[in-house]
Structure 1
Amino acid sequence: MNIDGGNYVITGEPGKKVDLQLIVMNKENKNRQFMYMVNTAYTNDSGQLAYDKTKVTDPALKIQVKNTASPKKTVFSVPANTAATIKFSITIPKKAFKGYLMGGVTIYPYKEKGKGTVASNGTLIKNKFSYSIPIQIHQVNGENEDAKYSVNSVKPGNVTASSGNTPGVLANIHNSTNSYMGDLSSKAVVTKKGDKSFKITETKNNQEIAPTTNYNYSISWGKKSLQAGDYHLKLTYTAPGGLKNWVLNKDFSITNNDAAKYNKLAGIKPNYLWLWILLGVLALAIILGLGIYLGKRNNNNNNNGNNTTRRRRR
C-alpha cells in the first residue's frame, strides 16, 4: 500500500488484509464526535467522484468497496484541541477482478448542526463539512481494463446552469468496467432531425467517471424552449493530453407534454406567435376566398340580367 496524491493505493494478493490509519484533528475547545465510514465510489451529476452514498447500485457493479473495509462505519470522539488516530483495514477481495475497485473513507461531524451563512442574494446557506480520502484496490497481476462508456438514455428535464434553472436534457452515461481514466474533457452536440438550423453545444472539463457507475450528464438549452421532436446526441470524451477519445451517439425524442412540463418548470412561457401567424393566414385565406366567391356571384347575376334584356328585345 502507498499514498499517491492523497489516495490510498492498495495492490496485493487476493485475500490480503492491509491495515490503514488516518489522523483526525479537533481544533475546537470542546469534545466532538465524528462519523467514519467507507463507501463505494460513484460519479455524481456534476461529473465528480463522490463517496457519500452508503449504497451504490449499478448493473455492472459486482464488488462494493465498503464490504472490503473493517469496520465499515463507526462513531468516535476526539477531545478538545487534540488529534485521534483511526485504524481500519481493507481486505483485497478473493474473487478475481480486472482493473480497479474505487471507494473512499469519509469523515464528518456526527449530529452537528450546520453553520449558517447568508449569501449575497439573501439566501441562508447551512454548511456541513466532510472530508474524503479515495481508495483504489488492485490485485497483483490483475489485468487493467479499458473504459467502456455508453449512453443509457436521454430524457428532458431541468438543468442548473450559470444563468439559472433552464430546460434541457439529461444523458445517463454508463461506465461498465472497472476503469478510471482521470479528468476527462467532454463536448456534447445535440441536433434535431428535419431542422438543420438547430444545434445545442455543451462542453465540460474535469469529468471523473468512476468504475462501474452511471451518472446524468446535463445539457442546457439555455434561453431556448424545449420543442417536441426527434433529436440526436453526439457526446465525445477526451482523455488527458488528447491521447484517447470516446464518441457516443444516441437518438432520443421529446414529447409535447414533456416540453410543456419542463418549460413551465424553468419559467419559460409558451410562445404563441406561430398560432397568431397561422390564424392570420387562415383569416386572410377566408377573406380572399369570400371575395372571390362574391365576385363570381355578382358576375353571374349581371350576366343573367343581360341575357333577360336581350330576349325581351326580340
Structure 2
Amino acid sequence: MKKKNIVIMVLLSLLILVSGQTSVHADQSLAVSVNAVLPKNQHNKDVTYYDLRMQPNQKQELDFELNNSSDKDQKILLQINNATTNDAGSIDYSDRGGKVKRDNTLKLALSDVAQVPKEVTVKAKSKQVVKIKLTMPAEKYNGSILGGIRVTTPDEEEKKDAKDSGGMKIKNKVAYSVAINLTETDEPVKAELDLLKVFPGQTAGRNVVKANVQNSQPTVLEDIEYYAEVTKEGNKKVLHKAQAQKYRFAPNSNFNFDVSWESQPFKAGKYTLNMRAESKDTKQKWNWTKNFEITENDAKKFNKTAVDLDQDNTKLYIIIGLITLLLLIILIIIFIFLKKKKEEQRRIQLKKRKKAGKNPNRRPNRGGPGSGPRPKQKPRPKK
C-alpha cells in the first residue's frame, strides 16, 4: 500500500507541474439538443426525421427546434447538406462539398430547394425555433430528394477560447444531423449502379485500389453486398480481393469501394477488376469487369508514403545470390590454379631428377647414420 501511495503522489505531482505549463479544458457547459417538428404532410409518421410528401410549386416552412439547457448563450451554425454515400457504404449528411464533387446525375438536390439561417444564437436555458424554407420546382419529380440539416458549433469559438486561456482548450463540439426526405409521388424508381473507374490510391496510409461505383437514380438502395477480385490483365490468378455487406446508397451519388493491397507495395503493370453487387432489398444484381493500370509514378508515389508496407527484397536477394555465386566461382578458380601450380612444380622436380641420372622412384641416400655398405667384421680368435 505504501508503494502504491508513493506512485500516486508522484503522478499527481507530475500532473501539477504539467498543468502549470499547458492548460487542457473540456467545456462541459455546452448542451444543445434539436427536435424536428413534423408537419401535417409528414408521409411516414413512424420516423422522427422530416419525410414529407410535397407538390410541384409548393412552398413550405418547417419548424426546427434548438434547445439550450446550459447556463450560457450558445452560437449555432446551420447548414443544408445533400445526402452522399461515403466510402464506408453509409448515407452521409455532413458537409462533404469540399472533398466530394456533386454527382453529375444529381439534377435536383435538397440544397436547391431548401434554405436555413446560417447562424443563430440560442439564449441560456431557452428554446428557439428555426424556420427551414422549402420551394419545390414547377416540374413534377419522381424519386427522392434527400439531404439533411446539420447543426454544429463554430470552430472560431474554439480557437478564440484556446487563445484566451493561454493553453490548449478542448471543447465538446455539438454535431447533429436531421434527415430531410422530399417526395411527390409513390411511383417506384429502380436504382441503377455502374462502375465508373478503377484507380490506385491510399486509405488510412495503406495501399488500395479504389472502384468508383455510382447510383445514377433518385432513390435509396439498401442492404447491398459487394465482392471484388483483382488479377493481372489476361491472367485468372486472383491477387487481391475484398467483400462487404450491409452497404447503403444515397440517391444520385457515388463512392469508392476499396480493395486492399494487403500491405504489399504497388507494382507497375496492367490489371483487371472483376466486381459484382447485389441488393438484398430489391434483388437487383450487377456485374462489372474493368481494366486499369498502375504506372511507375503511381507505384513510387504511394509506396513512398504507405505505412506498414512489406518490403520487396527480391532485388536484394538476387544481388546477394549473384555475389555468393561470384565468390564461389573465384574460390573454384583459385583452387584450380593452385592445383595446377603444384602439379607443375612436381613435374619440374621429376625432370631435374631424371637429368641427374637418378631413379626418380628411388628414395635418395641422404648420408645419415647407418647409410652405405656395412664394413666386414674380422673373425674372432679361437680360444
Report the TM range for the smaller structure's normalisation: 0.7 to 0.9
Give aligned-pair identity as a percent: 28
- Amino acid paired to 2:82: T
Higher relative contact order (CA 8 A, sep 6+): 1
Matching residue of 1:137: 182
Matching residue of 2:314: 273
Pairing 1:6-25 to 2, within 5 Å after superposition: 6-25=48-67
Once residues 96 and 201 of structure 1 are traced to their aligned partners in structure 2, the CA distance between those partners, rounded to angstroms, is 43
- Which consecutive unaligned segments of at least 5 residues does structure 1 have? 115-123, 295-314
Once residues 279 and 14 of structure 1 are traced to their aligned partners in structure 2, the CA distance between those partners, rounded to angstroms, is 76
| Equivalent residues of 1:159, 1:219 under 8 A apart | no
Q: Report the Cα offset of residue 15 of structure 1.
A: 1.2
| Equivalent residues of 1:183, 1:206 under 8 A apart | yes
Q: 2:294 aligns with which of 254, 268, 271?
A: 254
SS at match of 2:157: coil
Matching residue of 2:270: 230
Matching residue of 2:230: 190
Pairing 1:119-138 to 2, within 5 Å after superposition: 128-138=173-183
Q: Report the Cα offset of residue 140 of structure 1.
A: 2.8
| Equivalent residues of 1:156, 1:168 under 8 A apart | yes
Once residues 182 and 73 of structure 1 are traced to their aligned partners in structure 2, the CA distance between those partners, rounded to angstroms, is 32
Pairing 1:101-180 to 2, within 5 Å after superposition: 101-110=145-154, 111-113=156-158, 128-140=173-185, 143-160=187-204, 165-180=205-220
1:72-102, CA deviations, whole angstroms, 9 ceiling, x for partnerless residues? 3421121212222222232332223331111
Once residues 75 and 253 of structure 1 are traced to their aligned partners in structure 2, the CA distance between those partners, rounded to angstroms, is 47
Q: Normalising by structure 1, what TM-score?
A: 0.76
Once residues 294 and 103 of structure 2 are traced to their aligned partners in structure 1, the CA distance between those partners, rounded to angstroms, is 26
Q: Report the Cα offset of residue 47 of structure 1.
A: 2.5
Q: Report the Cα offset of residue 179 of structure 1.
A: 1.7
Once residues 234 and 109 of structure 2 are traced to their aligned partners in structure 1, the CA distance between those partners, rounded to angstroms, is 46
Q: Report the Cα offset of residue 25 of structure 1.
A: 1.7
SS at match of 1:259: helix
SS at match of 2:158: coil
Once residues 141 and 267 of structure 2 are traced to their aligned partners in structure 1, the CA distance between those partners, rounded to angstroms, is 45
| Equivalent residues of 1:149, 1:248 under 8 A apart | no
Once residues 49 and 222 of structure 2 are traced to their aligned partners in structure 1, the CA distance between those partners, rounded to angstroms, is 13
Once residues 280 and 5 of structure 1 are traced to their aligned partners in structure 2, the CA distance between those partners, rounded to angstroms, is 69
- Amino acid paired to 1:132: S
- Provide the aligned C-alpha RMSD in A: 3.3
Residue 219, structure 1, aligned to residue 259, structure 2? yes
- Amino acid paired to 1:25: N
Residue 75, structure 1, aligned to residue 96, structure 2? no
Residue 100, structure 1, aligned to residue 144, structure 2? yes
1:173-216, CA deviations, whole angstroms, 9 ceiling, x for partnerless residues? 21111121124232222222355444322222342221111222
| Larger strand share, 1 or 2 | 1
Which stretch shifts more, 178-187 or 190-199?
190-199
1:233-276, CA deviations, whole angstroms, 9 ceiling, x for partnerless residues? 23333324573333333221112221222122114365242464
Once residues 148 and 58 of structure 1 are traced to their aligned partners in structure 2, the CA distance between those partners, rounded to angstroms, is 14
SS at match of 2:147: strand
Q: Normalising by structure 2, what TM-score?
A: 0.63
Count residues in correspondence. 278
Q: 1:86 to 1:148 in 2, by over 3 A?
A: same
| Equivalent residues of 2:263, 2:310 under 8 A apart | no
| Equivalent residues of 1:35, 1:107 under 8 A apart | yes
| Equivalent residues of 1:38, 1:73 under 8 A apart | no
Q: 1:58 aligns with which of 103, 106, 116?
A: 103
- Amino acid paired to 2:89: G
**Rg comparison, structure with higher value:** 2
Q: Report the Cα offset of residue 60 of structure 1.
A: 1.0
